[in-house]
Structure 1
Amino acid sequence: MSRPAFTLPPWLAHALRAQRGPVPWSAVVRGALAAGPLLLTAVLAGRTSAGVVAAIAAMLAGINDRPGSRRASVKRLGVPALAGAGGLLVGTYAGQHIGAVPLTLLLTGVGLVAGAVSAVGPVASGAGTQLLVACAIGAGMPLPETGWQRALLYLAGAGWLLALRLVLPTRGASVGDYRFDGERDAVAAVYEAVAELLDATGTSQATARRAALTAALDHAQDALAGPRLRRYASSAAERHLHAQYAAALPLAEAATALAWAGDAVPARAAEGPRRLAAAVRGSTHTGPLPAPARSAPALRALDDALLHAADAFDRGGDARRLHARRRTATSVLRTAFGSGGREYGLRVALGFGVAAAVAQALHHAHWYGQHTHWYWLPATAVFLIKPDLGPLVSRVLCRAAGTVLGAVIFAGLAAVVPRPAGLVAIVALCGALIPAATRHFAAQTAVVTVLVLALVMVGGEPQASWSRIGETLLACGIVLLVGHLPMPGQRGGTVRARLVRAVDAAHAYLAHVLTDEDDRAGRWALRREAYRALAEARAAIDLAAAELPALARHAEGTDEVAAVVERLVDTTTACAVHLDDTGRLTPGHRRRLAELLDELTERRARAGLTAKEAPRLPLAV
């Protein structure tokens, strides 16, 4: 009898898992040119404290410097930087003018707001993180600059990295306008994902390839959604990229319908999307495209989409912004103050507030001794308490291990490097390593720990490696306790809120397909929203599943709901393609839709989800 294979529990497996992918060399170069040179310039000018603030801002911006387009990076780096500058301003004046108890209450209130806003999305989460970290630093870090000077220095540090992101060419980008290399790569990846889905049609890999296509479309959608000087695309190159992205949407729809049918397609079907991907990357014409057989509605739709794409590539096509995904102020507030935002905000406020209270108590305790860096404790708690940064235990384990490793490394370096030149070199080296270290939380923590300790010493304070370890372990204990405390309302609010949004988006997409056959642009936009909302829900469910059982149980049943939603959206896509070709649905399509809607209603009831009522199937379809 064979023994069952040993598997690690999800919470431990997640802590050991690292992201894969090529080293982001362009971001590494930007990191090397950011915090280190800023600090060196300030030291040479005799304004070391100003350089420390700017370097901290550049470091936090470097953590957000992820692959993508230049214009999208304006929001991804700029919005958190503005929030951080505001937090530094508030924290500085609060720390100088109010006592320990009011300061703790103020930090707790800021944590409540920042946590609720963080539920809106990745950029809002980054803004919430920088707001809280900068608020704690402003309240506790002894610096000669006034509050408004610190805020301006913070903006200058983050703005310097953003300027590098906008100006420096990307490594390996040698064709076309280098300003749009991120957009070109993102759009080309969509066509490649379409080709891979066509290759996988009829195999067990089709579902995974369809998910990869969704991820590619999401990335391209974000890459093309950056700020513009005018309402419409501001250059011929940009308009062409918009047209190429728009041309990919019907291709993705046809490929999804073919994958839903489950029948293998001719091998040459994938050649067209691959040639389109090469044309995007090389800014060239597509040349002749191989047409697939036209024996089924989805194959005919694929053929028509290829012809449309060829025209869009050669002439520029219709650059309507079908990809735009804008959240109104109402929807943002609904997310922030909904069940997910409330739970998120309460958890962050409690963790940040308790850490600040403990830090203040230790700071004023005569028996504890001098506690100069009390702000480290709440600042560390921010990264540990944010649920979107990974499962709770995984965050704690990685943070503790990374801090210990980074502190030990710095203690060894500090004993041998010259000051301040050696410390400035360490800051520059760590700035370069941050983009590569972001693939694992422990590695990122180790690099940031070394960088922060170097900044502290450059500022004139003694070596603080062992204090840093103590503060981090104390923060880990606080966050573990707070993370498992019962909260008012239903737990798993973030997961449920995102899943409800996915269900509602799937219903809206289905209703449009069944009632408005002529508005294809609207259909593609709703399809994008449905798949994107589903991907966000899936990510939240996977994160919750990697928690300890005491927390993971609150998301039980949500994975089954997401699986039904996925099948419903796939089936709706297949129905849309069939309606385009024949004008009517087959009895098999109607039966499958009815079964999925019934199953979804049942699964939602079991999981305790409330969403908008499902659309009724009209008899005419």
Structure 2
Amino acid sequence: MVVGRTTLGVVAAIAAMLAGINDRPGSRRGSVRRLGVPAVVGAVGLFVGTVAGDRLGAVALTVLFAGLGLLAGGISAVGPVASAAGTQLLVAAAIGAGMPLPESGWERAVAYLGGALWLVLLRLVLPTPGSLVGDYRFDGERDAVAGVYDAVAELLDAVGTDRATARRAALTAALDHAQDALTGPRLRRYASSSAERRLHAQYAAALPLGEAATALAWAGEPVPARASQGPRRLAAAVRGNTHTGPLPAPSRSAPALRALDDALLHAAEAFDRGKGDRDLHTRRRTARDLVRSVFGAGGREYGLRVALCFGASAAIAQGLYRAQWYGQHEHWYWLPATAVFLVKPDLGPLVSRVLCRAAGTVLGAVLFAGFAAVLPRPEGLIALVALSGALIPVATRHFAAQTAVVTVLVLALVMVGGEPQASVSRIGETLLACAIVLVAGHLPMPGQGGGGVRARLGAAGQAAYAYLDHVLSESGGAAHHGADARALRWTLRREAYRALAEARTAIALAAAELPALARHTEGADDVVATLERLVDTTTACAVHLDDSGRLTPWHLAQLNELLDELAEERDQVGLRMPHAPEVPIAG
């Protein structure tokens, strides 16, 4: 506003708002990818939408929006960052095509990038509260790695109780969070500072501890209380960036306890040396994996629903706009942009999303109408934008609260940009978008339903089988042992548990849908539960192999029993999975 380019400021503020919605607690480096990738894709969408809005008629624009919806929906099946990128692509395309701005497409795209990158810069530079001790740039990484050691200690405390399964799942979540926190771009040019190398070494040292704790939980025999004291002291050392001091050694009366003791000794040595590299025992997804996700069952099903919702809402919105249903308001783009957020499956069950969106929009519109009646313009509206932006991190905890805050922010930006007050029309457009998404979201789609869940289950099964196959190969002789083989084993174990956690999340969301959608994934929870038991048993076998060099007939019998049970459950739900590894018959 100071330089007389208010509309560009509105575009930048919209980009910063969307980046704030995408942000989550975690490391600074992780936020670069989490916020930056969707911002770049959104800028491309804004440019494409601007050009299309200037040159295409209503029918051609609707077809283009449907095609973008199909592409963005398929991309969203890749993962959380891709899902955010797909959403920003569509929202920005709708804004570019419908928002009346004097700037060209490239100017809008640059302003959009500037708004998002401003938030990324603040995220990288400003310390979080309570993190001024030491090198605060790594506070998110330290908290994440320390959380892994705390999760190991809690799992050890729960061994032999009915809390063990939940604690093992919590350990998986902690490892996933730490892995994400450490995989961002480097803050320095060369393999980074000693603090970064130390954190990588501390994360790597947690992997054998987690493996031993999982094996103990699988055995189910309670362990002495002192077994969890070592991991807790390691967690405190990570948070305080200090030395570990003496660690209490657990009993060495069983293979898993001996593995735990060895892992503690290894961790103490790693903490003292502080040496490590950037290899987090992960494997990059290949282009084939990405294509399989986009064009697989999950990507196709979600892409078709997004294409239908985005294209239909754009067509209806333009029809209403040309019929002058909007009156003096030129914001038909709100309808398709709202539909994009409503159709996202990772925001909760469909009906819940719709109800929360409707309630949040009504509340936000009413609040804004009250503010607009008393606030001075434009200073009061700018202050309202800043206040709403500050509330976004808190509001993201609930979709209705987030919707209310975003509604106030967007309506304020619209007025700052020169349009009249639009609370009433905003409510009407949101309710119409809710109706469109409810209908389109429950329509039958070509192919087998529940594609997203089935894709996650298939990936989990493939990862579990790869892990089992590697552990079985370790039992074939000394040639398969060593540091490299063990590092690969930890990589495969991490991938298996992570894939299972993603499948669990997808199943929980699908189970909360209405029967028309939930029925497609019946029995999936039994399959993932058996896969989890298979991976737990494989972990126990790996620990036993390290101790004795061979598997007992009892271990082999357990593996074969689980594979038979999994095959039966897989056939019942009609799930396609890769062939299971051949496990020798016990006896």
The answer to whether TM tops 0.5 is yes
1:91-110 map, 5 Å:
91-110=49-68
1:174 is displaced (CA, Å) by 3.0
Are the equivalent residues in 2 in contact too, given 1:426–1:451 (CA < 8 A)? Answer: yes
- Is residue 2:270 matched to residue 1:316? no
How high is the sequence identity, in percent, across the aligned residues? 78
Does structure 2 conserve the Cα–Cα contact (< 8 Å) formed by 1:175 and 1:283? Answer: no
Specify the alignment match of 1:266 in structure 2. 224
When normalised by structure 2's length, the TM-score is 0.97
Q: Which of the pair has the greater relative contact order for Cα pairs under 8 Å at 6+ separation?
A: 1
Partner in structure 1 of residue 75 of structure 2: 117
Of residues 186, 195, 204, the one that matches 2:162 is: 204
> Partner residue of 2:398?
440
* CA distance in 2 between partners of 1:307 and 1:320 (Å): 22
Q: Per the alignment, do residues 232 and 577 of structure 1 end up closer, same or farther by CA in structure 2, a change over 3 Å counting?
A: farther
Q: Residue 571 of structure 2: which of 605, 608, 614 is its match?
A: 605
Q: Distance in 1 between matches of 2:422 and 2:283?
A: 46
The answer (yes or no) to whether the contact 1:430–1:451 under 8 Å persists in 2 is yes
Question: Which residue in 2 is equivalent to 1:513?
Answer: 471
For normalisation by structure 1, the TM-score amounts to: 0.92
Distance between the aligned counterparts of 2:570 and 2:188, measured in 1?
44
Change beyond 3 A, Cα 1:620–1:515? farther
Amino acid at match of 1:342: R
Residue from 330, 355, 364 that aligns with 2:288: 330
Q: 1:529 aligns with which of 486, 490, 495?
A: 495
Give the match for residue 570 of structure 1. 536
Report the Cα offset of residue 44 of structure 1: 2.1
Give the counterpart of 1:280 among 238, 242, 251.
238
Counterpart secondary structure, 1:202: coil
Q: 1:81 aligns with which of 31, 39, 43?
A: 39
- CA deviation map 1:128-160 (0-9, x unaligned): 000000000000000111100000000000000
| Structure 1: 4+ residue segments shifted above 6 A | 229-232
Paired letter, 1:314: D
Aligned to 1:422: 380
| Superposed displacement of residue 326, structure 1 | 1.9
User: In structure 2, how many angstroms separate the alpha carbons of the residues matched to 1:493 and 1:277?
Assistant: 40
* Structure 2 unaligned blocks of 5 or more: 475-479
Q: Distance in 1 between matches of 2:328 and 2:126?
A: 45
Q: Shift of the alpha carbon at 1:170?
A: 1.5
Task: Give the aligned partner of residue 214 of structure 1.
Answer: 172
Distance 1:549 1:305, change over 3 A: same
CA distance in 2, matches of 1:474, 1:412: 24
Which of 579, 591, 608 is the equivalent residue of 2:557?
591
Amino acid of the structure 2 residue aligned with 1:582: S
**Gap change, CA 1:48 and 1:231, over 3 Å in 2:** closer
Q: Per the alignment, in what secondary structure is the counterpart of residue 44 of structure 1?
A: coil
Tell me if structure 1 keeps the 8 A contact 2:560–2:585: no
Given the alignment, which residue of 514, 517, 526 partners 1:548?
A: 514
Shift of 1:584: 1.6
Contact 2:329–2:419 (Cα < 8 Å) also in 1: no
Stretches of structure 1 that go unaligned for 5 or more consecutive residues are 1-42
Residues 172-228 of structure 1 deviation map (CA, whole Å, 9 limit, x = unaligned) = 113331111111110000000000000111111000000000000000001111123
**Which amino acid counterpart does residue 596 of structure 1 have in structure 2?**
L
Is it true that 1:389 corresponds to 2:347 in the alignment?
A: yes
Match of 2:584 in 1: 618
Residue 564 to residue 367, structure 1, CA distance change in 2 (3 Å): closer
Which region of structure 1 is more displaced relative to structure 2, 496-505 or 321-330?
Answer: 321-330
Superposition map of 1:360-509 within 5 A:
360-366=318-324, 369-509=327-467
What's the CA shift for 1:615?
0.4
RMSD of Structure 2 on Structure 1 (CA): 1.3
Pair 1:257-2:257 in alignment: no
User: What is the one-letter code of the residue matched to 1:146?
Assistant: S
CA–CA distance in structure 2, aligned partners of residues 317 and 556 of structure 1 = 48
Query: What is the count of residue pairs matched by the alignment?
Result: 579
Q: Which residue of 2 aligns with 1:184?
A: 142
Partner of 1:26: none
- Counterpart-to-counterpart distance in 2, 1:450 and 1:357: 26
- SS class of match (2:567): helix
**C-alpha contact 1:359 1:377 (8 A) present in aligned 2:** yes
- Tell me the secondary structure at the aligned position of residue 253 of structure 1: helix
CA contact (8 A) 1:70 1:166 kept: yes
Deviations 1:500-528 (A, max 9, x none): 10011000000000103411000000000
> Cα–Cα, structure 1 residues 232 and 345, in superposed 2: closer, same or farther, change >3 Å?
farther
Distance in 2 of aligned mates of 1:422 and 1:175: 37
Contact 2:159/2:216, CA 8 A, preserved across alignment: yes
The 8 Å contact of residues 272 and 291 in structure 1, kept in 2 or not, is answered as: yes
Q: Secondary structure at the match of 1:378?
A: helix
Q: Deviations over 1:317-360 (max 9, x none)?
A: 44361333421222111100011100011110110000001001
Verify the 8 A CA contact 2:556 2:585 in the aligned structure 1: no
For 1:90, the aligned partner's letter is V
Mean Cα deviation higher: 231-240 or 278-287: 231-240
SS of alignment partner, residue 415 of structure 1: helix
Query: What is residue 31 of structure 1 aligned with on the other side?
Result: none
Residue 136 of structure 1 is matched in structure 2 by 94
How much does 1:606 deviate? 0.6
Distance (Å, rounded) in 2 between the aligned partners of 1:448 and 1:292: 52
C-alpha contact 1:251 1:306 (8 A) present in aligned 2: yes
Does the 8 Å contact 2:557/2:585 carry over to 1? Answer: no
